[in-house]
Amino acid sequence: MNELYRAIEGRKDVKGKMKLIGIGAGNSDFEVNFFRKKYEVPFPLFTDQDYAIHKAIGEVRTPYFIGVRLKGDGNAEVFYSKLGGFENANKFLDSMVKLSGL
Protein backbone atom coordinates (compact mmCIF):
# COMPACT_ATOMS: atom_id res chain seq x y z
CA MET A 1 0.00 0.00 0.00
CA ASN A 2 2.89 2.33 0.70
CA GLU A 3 4.16 1.58 -2.81
CA LEU A 4 0.73 2.45 -4.26
CA TYR A 5 0.71 5.70 -2.29
CA ARG A 6 4.17 6.60 -3.64
CA ALA A 7 3.03 5.75 -7.18
CA ILE A 8 0.02 8.08 -6.81
CA GLU A 9 2.13 10.89 -5.39
CA GLY A 10 4.75 10.41 -8.10
CA ARG A 11 2.38 10.85 -11.02
CA LYS A 12 1.55 14.41 -12.02
CA ASP A 13 -1.66 13.29 -13.73
CA VAL A 14 -3.17 11.89 -10.52
CA LYS A 15 -1.38 13.61 -7.63
CA GLY A 16 -3.94 15.69 -5.78
CA LYS A 17 -6.78 14.02 -7.69
CA MET A 18 -6.60 10.54 -6.20
CA LYS A 19 -6.40 9.78 -2.48
CA LEU A 20 -5.67 6.61 -0.57
CA ILE A 21 -6.99 5.87 2.93
CA GLY A 22 -6.95 2.81 5.17
CA ILE A 23 -9.62 1.67 7.61
CA GLY A 24 -8.69 -0.41 10.64
CA ALA A 25 -11.79 -2.60 10.92
CA GLY A 26 -12.13 -3.61 14.56
CA ASN A 27 -8.93 -1.81 15.51
CA SER A 28 -8.47 0.67 18.34
CA ASP A 29 -6.59 3.97 18.09
CA PHE A 30 -3.61 2.25 19.75
CA GLU A 31 -3.60 -0.58 17.19
CA VAL A 32 -3.96 1.76 14.20
CA ASN A 33 -1.20 4.04 15.48
CA PHE A 34 1.07 1.05 16.19
CA PHE A 35 0.48 -0.22 12.63
CA ARG A 36 1.08 3.27 11.18
CA LYS A 37 4.42 3.59 12.99
CA LYS A 38 5.59 0.01 12.42
CA TYR A 39 4.95 0.08 8.68
CA GLU A 40 5.67 3.81 8.23
CA VAL A 41 2.30 4.38 6.56
CA PRO A 42 2.27 7.80 4.84
CA PHE A 43 -1.46 7.94 4.04
CA PRO A 44 -4.39 8.48 6.46
CA LEU A 45 -5.54 5.51 8.53
CA PHE A 46 -8.88 5.53 10.35
CA THR A 47 -9.93 3.61 13.43
CA ASP A 48 -13.12 1.56 13.12
CA GLN A 49 -13.16 -0.11 16.52
CA ASP A 50 -16.93 -0.60 16.57
CA TYR A 51 -17.02 -1.81 12.93
CA ALA A 52 -19.35 1.04 11.91
CA ILE A 53 -17.54 1.73 8.63
CA HIS A 54 -17.04 -1.98 8.04
CA LYS A 55 -20.78 -2.60 8.43
CA ALA A 56 -21.67 0.38 6.21
CA ILE A 57 -19.68 -1.06 3.31
CA GLY A 58 -21.21 -4.53 3.63
CA GLU A 59 -18.93 -6.29 6.15
CA VAL A 60 -16.45 -7.24 3.47
CA ARG A 61 -13.33 -9.25 4.17
CA THR A 62 -9.94 -7.59 3.88
CA PRO A 63 -8.09 -6.42 1.97
CA TYR A 64 -10.90 -4.76 0.08
CA PHE A 65 -10.60 -1.88 -2.37
CA ILE A 66 -13.28 0.64 -3.21
CA GLY A 67 -12.73 3.33 -5.83
CA VAL A 68 -15.03 6.32 -5.47
CA ARG A 69 -15.34 9.17 -7.94
CA LEU A 70 -16.58 12.53 -6.64
CA LYS A 71 -18.84 14.03 -9.27
CA GLY A 72 -19.21 17.71 -10.08
CA ASP A 73 -22.68 17.84 -8.52
CA GLY A 74 -21.32 16.74 -5.12
CA ASN A 75 -22.47 13.13 -5.42
CA ALA A 76 -20.17 10.13 -5.19
CA GLU A 77 -20.06 7.14 -7.52
CA VAL A 78 -18.37 3.80 -6.85
CA PHE A 79 -16.37 2.80 -9.93
CA TYR A 80 -14.46 -0.12 -8.39
CA SER A 81 -15.21 -2.60 -5.62
CA LYS A 82 -13.18 -5.77 -5.18
CA LEU A 83 -11.87 -8.16 -2.55
CA GLY A 84 -8.20 -9.06 -2.61
CA GLY A 85 -4.83 -7.47 -3.11
CA PHE A 86 -2.82 -6.62 -6.19
CA GLU A 87 0.58 -7.74 -7.40
CA ASN A 88 1.93 -4.56 -8.96
CA ALA A 89 1.18 -1.07 -7.60
CA ASN A 90 1.81 0.72 -10.89
CA LYS A 91 -0.42 -1.63 -12.89
CA PHE A 92 -3.15 -1.33 -10.25
CA LEU A 93 -2.85 2.47 -10.38
CA ASP A 94 -3.05 2.43 -14.18
CA SER A 95 -6.25 0.39 -13.88
CA MET A 96 -7.73 2.79 -11.32
CA VAL A 97 -6.89 5.80 -13.49
CA LYS A 98 -8.59 4.21 -16.48
CA LEU A 99 -11.68 3.07 -14.55
CA SER A 100 -12.06 6.41 -12.77
CA GLY A 101 -11.87 8.42 -15.97
CA LEU A 102 -9.02 10.63 -14.76
- Tens-place pLDDT, residues 15-26: 999 999 999 999
Three-class SS string for 20-55? CCEEEECCCHHHHHHHHHHCCCCCCEEEECCCHHHH
Helical (H) or strand (E) element with 90: helix 89-100
Domains and CATH numbers, the chain: 2-100 (3.40.30.10)
Neighbours of 82 (CB within 10 A): 12
Q: With a threshold of 0.75, does the pTM exceed it?
A: yes
Average pLDDT over residues 62-82: 93
